Amino acid sequence: MKYYITTPIYYVNDRPHLGHAYTTVAADVLARWRRSKGEEVFFLTGTDEHGAKVAQAAKNANQNPREFCDEKARSFKNAWQRFGIEYSNFIRTTDAAHEAAVQKFLQALFEAGYICKARYKGLYCQGCEQYKIPDDLIEGLCPDHQTKPQEMEEESYFFKLSKLEKDLEQKIESDEIKIRPVERKNEVLSFIKSGLKDISISRKNVKWGIPLPFDAEHTAYVWVDAFLNYLTGLGWDGSVGEDFYKLKTKNQKLDFWPPDLQLMAKDIVRVHATIWLGLLLALKIPPPKNFFVHGFFTLNDQKMSKSLGNVIWPEELTEKFGADAARFLLLSFTPFGQDGDISWEKMAEKYNSDLADGLGNLTSRVFNLIEKNFDGKIEATKSDLDISYLMKDIKIYESLLTIKEKIEWANKYIDENKVWELVKNDKEKGREVLSRLLGAIVAIGEALAPFMPKISEKILARAKAGKIKKGEILFPKIV
């Protein structure tokens, strides 16, 4: 069984932030879980590196765009390393192969009659570097910059998205392309039903981009460029139609196509469901099977933003809690798919109660009892802990709850049986109870492997050692 999972590629205009980490960690957990079930997994992530904003940011940093992007891509790779992310490929949209494939694809799209030239007219805000629609404006001014946008007109190429409206609607409605949670599907559908407009897919004055093959004065709009990463990340060369299938049989990686699961945050589901799917349907490339859309984190109920200065950076998380605990914390705040609120206080609380006092303390007491009373030698009794039925459904949060219940059960079981007395008064009964507890710990360790790979390994190594020892503390308490 092959399984292809993607995260969006991240815009290098910004440094890695918590939202990036959230998606990527979730993808890694799902990928690891699939691998543990024996599936062949391809997990793609990467960076989106073209566009006016990147060029500007590079200029501000006194670098050429290429150097700037190299540095930024490295910072994303470093971040993922800190979180223990095991991706299969890290795609960059400035890779030569990606650029060539995008051009080839656009040429095909052009030849298929899906691209036409038109003039785009609108109100352009210099500060935002984007067009505004009248509804965006407050008393005729840009709400962000308090300036009056200028009437501008430019020549641009348009993608005939409107032609694909019915096709998109049908495929999403029928769950042929399944969008979850279902409220996101509804949102997308109502948007499509309200009527899709053709969209501009080129920029004349943006130099840092991929030139259109049929008009080198224009570069491809970054979204179009970026979306194709999901294909080029598998070594696709831009082929469409029969050539696509030919390539698929020759190229082992491309054989993973179409994606089984594409993760994204709710802000970009709409563009994915229209532009991205539209590009595929236009040229009859099989579309992805599933989109799963997660929510945003607020920090103390406030939107995180750099200007407010209330941002948590990913590296702060791994520094404070370690990679595994950071992964656990990100995923255990809120059901995957919903918005959540976090804060340093709440994370520390959760770390202490779930990991230090819960899991960590449990392993300490059980291993210690075995070490002290049975010379570290006890056979584990197999214990059930099934999260498959949840993980299959991308119920990450619920899976963690199920694991936590098992930890609770074990702690209660120790108390109810007064194991510390049993080992003195009724050694055989004590052995039996500890054997069950050891089995539970093994089951917990195994279930946690996709979430906390290193900790899981440590727990299992201790539990399965010929001579069990209490060992060092797994989660030092945070004060």
- The residues that are catalytic are 17, 20, 125, 128, 142, 145, 303, 306
Regarding 133 and contact with RNA (CB under 7 A), the answer is yes
Cis peptide leading into 258, omega within 30 of 0? yes
| Pairing label, strands 261-265, 290-294 | parallel
When binding is defined by CB under 7 A, the residue of 14, 70, 95, 457 that contacts RNA is 14
Q: Where are the alpha helices (DSSP H) in 194-311?
A: 222-227, 229-232, 242-250, 269-271, 277-282
Q: Where are the alpha helices (DSSP H) in 284-395?
A: 314-321, 323-332, 344-350, 361-374, 388-391
Q: Which stretch binds RNA (CB under 7 A): 67-75, 103-111, 309-317, 419-427?
A: 419-427
When binding is defined by CB under 7 A, the residue of 60, 194, 249, 307 that contacts RNA is 194
CB of 197 to RNA, least distance (A): 4
Starting at the edge strand found earlier in the chain, the sheet holding 302-303 runs 302-303, 297-299, 340-342
Helix axes 65-82, 52-60, angle to 10 degrees: 90
At position 336, the amino acid (one-letter code) is F
* Residues in 249-288 at the binding interface with RNA, rule: CB under 7 A: 266-268, 270-271, 274
Q: Token digits for 5?
A: 């999972």
When binding is defined by CB under 7 A, the residue of 2, 66, 145, 197 that contacts RNA is 197
- Per-residue x/- track, 216-255, RNA (CB under 7 A): -----xxx--xx----------------------------
Nearest in space to 399 (alpha carbons), one of 445, 332, 339, 453: 332
User: What's the CA gap between 336 and 332, in Å, rounded?
Assistant: 9
When binding is defined by CB under 7 A, the residue of 95, 154, 167, 341 that contacts RNA is 341
CB of 453 to RNA, least distance (A): 17
Regarding 339 and contact with RNA (CB under 7 A), the answer is yes
When binding is defined by CB under 7 A, the residue of 75, 89, 310, 338 that contacts RNA is 338
Q: Token digits for 111?
A: 């030849």
Regarding 475 and contact with RNA (CB under 7 A), the answer is yes
User: What's the CA gap between 437 and 401, in Å, rounded?
Assistant: 19
CB of 228 to RNA, least distance (A): 10
User: What's the CA gap between 80 and 74, in Å, rounded?
Assistant: 10
C-beta closer to RNA: residue 135 or 428:
135
* Residues in 59-118 at the binding interface with RNA, rule: CB under 7 A: none
When binding is defined by CB under 7 A, the residue of 51, 65, 314, 450 that contacts RNA is 51
Burial class (CB in 10 A: 0-12, 13-18, 19+), 56: middle
C-beta closer to RNA: residue 70 or 165:
165
User: What's the CA gap between 251 and 2, in Å, rounded?
Assistant: 14
When binding is defined by CB under 7 A, the residue of 2, 59, 418, 467 that contacts RNA is 418
- For residue 336, the 8-state DSSP code is B
List Cβ neighbours of 319 (8 Å cut-off, separation of 6 or more). Answer: none
List Cβ neighbours of 186 (8 Å cut-off, separation of 6 or more). Answer: none
CB of 393 to RNA, least distance (A): 14
Regarding 369 and contact with RNA (CB under 7 A), the answer is yes
At position 471, the amino acid (one-letter code) is G
Number of residues that bind RNA (CB under 7 A): 81
When binding is defined by CB under 7 A, the residue of 36, 88, 368, 381 that contacts RNA is 368
Query: Cβ(72)–Cβ(10) under 8 Å?
Result: no
C-beta closer to RNA: residue 2 or 477:
477
Regarding 336 and contact with RNA (CB under 7 A), the answer is no
User: What's the CA gap between 349 and 347, in Å, rounded?
Assistant: 5
* Residues in 442-471 at the binding interface with RNA, rule: CB under 7 A: 470
C-beta closer to RNA: residue 251 or 368:
368
CB of 59 to RNA, least distance (A): 15
Regarding 332 and contact with RNA (CB under 7 A), the answer is no
Q: Which stretch binds RNA (CB under 7 A): 61-69, 107-115, 249-257, 411-419?
A: 411-419
Starting at the edge strand found earlier in the chain, the sheet holding 130-132 runs 130-132, 115-125, 150-159, 199-200
Q: Where are the alpha helices (DSSP H) in 42-151?
A: 52-60, 65-82, 96-111
CB of 138 to RNA, least distance (A): 11
C-beta closer to RNA: residue 258 or 335:
335
C-beta closer to RNA: residue 19 or 238:
19
Q: Which stretch binds RNA (CB under 7 A): 28-36, 76-84, 378-386, 413-421?
A: 413-421
Regarding 357 and contact with RNA (CB under 7 A), the answer is yes
Regarding 167 and contact with RNA (CB under 7 A), the answer is no
Regarding 313 and contact with RNA (CB under 7 A), the answer is no
Q: Token digits for 175?
A: 């769950």
Regarding 476 and contact with RNA (CB under 7 A), the answer is yes
CB of 356 to RNA, least distance (A): 4
3-state secondary structure (DSSP) of residue 2: strand
Q: Which stretch binds RNA (CB under 7 A): 23-31, 180-188, 245-253, 306-314?
A: 180-188
Q: Determine how many CB atoms are found less than 10 A away from the CB of residue 372.
A: 12
